Amino acid sequence: MSRAVLSGNEAIARGAYEAGVLVASAYPGTPSTEILENIVGYPEIDASWAPNEKVALEVAIGASFGGGRAIACMKHVGVNVAADPLFTLSYTGVRGGLVLVAADDPEMHSSQNEQDSRNYAKFAKVPMLEPADSQECKEFTRLGFDLSEQFDTPVMLRSCTRISHGKSIVELGERVSGLPAPKLTKDAPKLVMLPGNARVRHPLVEQRIVDLSAYGDGAAINRKEMRSTKVGIICAGVVYQYVREALPEASVLKLGMVYPLPHNLIREFASQVEQLFVIEELDPFIEEQVKAMGIAVTGKAIVPLCGELSPGRIRAAFAKVGLAEAPAAADSITEPLPPRPPNMCPGCPHRGLFYTLNRLNAYVTGDIGCYTLGFMPPLNAMDTCVCMGASVSNASGIVRVLSPEEQRRVVGVIGDSTFLHTGVNSLMEMAYNRVPATIVILDNRITAMTGRQENPTSGYTLKGVPAPEVDLAELCRVLGIEHVRLIDPNNLAETRRVLEEEMARPAPSVVITRRPCCLIKDATRFSPGPPLCIEPDKCTGCKACLRLGCPAIEWLPSSDGKKGKARIDSLLCNGCTVCQQLCKFDAIIHQQG
């Protein structure tokens, strides 16, 4: 059998392939994105991006109802968007097996919150598996499909950043064969969830949880590892790896299924150790249930609630109760070092817009994407950011409480992918209720933040097949927005003029900034302009160009007490010319030769 070093996401994709999955649907979101990006490498699977997570899950549900195995993948907050179908899918159950992957992001490496997806499993009453390395990612994905069909339930697979983006060695297997061929089957009592039918289904859902708990008592994925019986630890997922490293002597109950819990197995383990602990990231999810069973256990009293765990953090927690040696204090660097936050790329089409919003003293209700970086200095042009789609509805809400003077300052900004994700409904609200806010759609033709995924404005699909392009301007008009303007954000004069006009207008309006993302690799869609440079003799050191915060422009302080000068790194410059438009002294020119 062949082996490979795979990330958790690659291994989940492999597991879906080996499980005979026919349909995969997802909306990108770190750390889940690469699952679908790897599934697309298996031509047997119909893999595609959906405009949002609710749609992705519903596509998978449809495929399952047709009798095919299907997977939907999303980041933790995506499950909020997909929660509506999820809760009723729990009642209908499945025909073909269905796995929903939720990738959590403890520590918020790339997220706006660190919600714990395990609560969804309990809330929706569906089983949840949690792998601890890439091998388990593959195996648990396969197992998820079997359990899904055996127990007539969707199965959630919970990953996290360290599992999804961690790599370890995986043994590869073959794709299963002989699954029943999909075909239409009428089964209204199971699939039509009206009150009369749902009332019949609900007790089945409750019984399913009891049955799954009993399954968990004997399942190999929940395993006891008995070592010293002084300390016993219940844990799951990547935390198991940290525990093995931090407390190598401790006995461990490693859970592969974190909901429902295997009650008998937990009782047995608890009776075999002197002191019982639950170590888990984020919420006291297992701990509270073990306590509800009447078992004495310590968890969040010593383990942090917020952020990621690590072997060091676990050792520190156990040192507090005298059960481990405190980790040696790390060597530190005392002098302040300049931080290195992420920044918009050189030539990013979002930069000119945020520069202009800053100059116009706009109050910007923001949204999620690369353009969220517009809040960073020196652009400083974003004032709120809640969740995808919220920019438009937040703008609509905020103007309702403001004076006409202040109303004019409100501008909502939203990316093309985010607009199609959940902004369309919000704009419909704004148009419908005649709310006089200005919305800017930053149309860079791609979902850039998560790594350049295709979306319905891109003109092609995940598989690279040409697709109809959503006409954003037309879409806004049919929603009822009368004033829709299309501009080039790299033209600063035009951007300023149009924004001024639309902000002053006491009616709903939309400005679409159309310019492809400079990370798009295909030269027919984006090609950089010739790089610029600064003529030192003409540069007066006024620093106007620095206000753009472009990574290609550097300030060179002078050593002899005179004014410094700016310099452009021609290797980084994408030739967007925005800085050139700002220079009053014509010091920024195209390179000679």
Partner 1 sequence: MNDKITNILLVGVGGQGILLASEILAEAFMLAGLDVKKSEIHGMSQRGGSVVSHVRFGREVSSPTVPEGEGDILFGFELLEAYRSLPLLRPGAEVVVNDYRIAPPSVLLGQAAYPDDIPARIRARFPDFLLVDGLHLAQQAGDVRAANTVLLGAVSKRLPIDVAVWQQALEKMVPKKALEVNHKAFAMGRAL
Ligand X SMILES: Cc1ncc(C[n+]2csc(CCOP(=O)(O)OP(=O)(O)O)c2C)c(N)n1
Segment near ligand X (CB under 6 A); pick from 230-238, 411-419, 535-543, 547-555: 411-419
Residues 376-395 that bind ligand X (CB under 6 A): 388
Exactly one of 51, 173, 378, 516 binds partner 1 (CB under 8 A); that residue is 378
Site string for partner 1, 83-122 (x = CB under 8 A): --------------------------xx------------
Size of site (CB under 8 A) for partner 1: 56
Are 449 and 368 contacting, i.e. CB atoms less than 8 angstroms apart? yes
Q: How many CB atoms lie within 10 A of CB 507?
A: 14
Enumerate the β-bridge partners of residue 364: 411
Least distance CB 285 / ligand X (angstroms)? 21
Exactly one of 234, 448, 510, 578 binds ligand X (CB under 6 A); that residue is 448
Exactly one of 117, 213, 418, 509 binds ligand X (CB under 6 A); that residue is 418
Least distance CB 165 / partner 1 (angstroms)? 6
Residue 417 interacting partner from ligand X, partner 1, none (CB closer than 5 to 8 Å by kind): ligand X
By beta-carbon distance, which residue lies closest to ligand X? 415
Residues 232-251 that bind partner 1 (CB under 8 A): 238, 241-242, 244-245
Cβ density class 292-331: b for 16+ within 10 Å, e for less: eeebebebbebbeeeebbbeebbbbbbeeeebbeeeeeee
CA distance 60 to 101: 12
546 makes contact with partner 1 (CB under 8 A)? yes
Comparison of 327 and 397: residue with beta carbon closer to partner 1:
327
CA distance 119 to 459: 38
Segment near partner 1 (CB under 8 A); pick from 157-165, 229-237, 256-264, 494-502: 157-165
Main-chain dihedrals φ then ψ at residue 544, nearest 5 degrees: -60, -40
Q: How many CB atoms lie within 10 A of CB 524?
A: 6
CA distance 289 to 293: 6
Segment near ligand X (CB under 6 A); pick from 72-80, 483-491, 508-516, 565-573: 72-80
Comparison of 29 and 549: residue with beta carbon closer to ligand X:
29
472 makes contact with ligand X (CB under 6 A)? no
Exactly one of 133, 280, 281, 443 binds partner 1 (CB under 8 A); that residue is 133
Least distance CB 545 / partner 1 (angstroms)? 11
Cis peptide before 262 (omega within 30 of 0): no
DSSP code at position 129: E
Cβ density class 38-61: b for 16+ within 10 Å, e for less: bbbebeebbbbbbbbbbbbbbbbb
φ/ψ region of 211 (left if φ > 0, alpha if ψ in -120 to 50, else beta) reads: alpha
Exactly one of 154, 166, 299, 352 binds partner 1 (CB under 8 A); that residue is 166
List strands edge to edge, sheet with 223-225: 223-225, 250-255, 228-236, 275-278
Exactly one of 543, 581, 585, 589 binds partner 1 (CB under 8 A); that residue is 543
Exactly one of 162, 421, 445, 496 binds partner 1 (CB under 8 A); that residue is 162
For the purposes of burial, counting CB atoms within 10 Å of the CB of 346, is it exposed (0-12), middle (13-18) or buried (19 or more)? buried
CA distance 483 to 476: 9
Main-chain dihedrals φ then ψ at residue 140, nearest 5 degrees: -70, -30
288 makes contact with partner 1 (CB under 8 A)? no
Site string for ligand X, 560-589 (x = CB under 6 A): ------------------------------
Contacts of 41 (CB under 8 A, 6+ apart): 13
Helix (H) or strand (E) holding 289: helix 285-292
Cβ density class 379-411: b for 16+ within 10 Å, e for less: bebbbbbebbbbbbbbbbbbbeeeeeeebbbbb
**CA 329 from centroid of its chain's CA atoms:** 34
Segment near ligand X (CB under 6 A); pick from 217-225, 286-294, 447-455, 520-528: 447-455
Exactly one of 114, 416, 454, 502 binds ligand X (CB under 6 A); that residue is 416
CA distance 115 to 131: 18
Least distance CB 555 / partner 1 (angstroms)? 3
Segment near ligand X (CB under 6 A); pick from 22-30, 34-42, 494-502, 503-511: 22-30
Residues 27-66 that bind ligand X (CB under 6 A): 27-29
Main-chain dihedrals φ then ψ at residue 591, nearest 5 degrees: -65, 145
Comparison of 109 and 199: residue with beta carbon closer to ligand X:
109
Binding site for ligand X (CB under 6 A): 27-29, 75, 77-78, 81, 368-371, 388, 415-418, 442, 444, 446-450
Residues of this chain that bind partner 1 (CB under 8 A) = 3-5, 30-31, 109-110, 133, 161-162, 165-169, 238, 241-242, 244-245, 310-312, 327-328, 330-333, 335, 337-345, 370, 373, 376-378, 449-451, 543, 546, 549, 551, 553-555, 557, 564
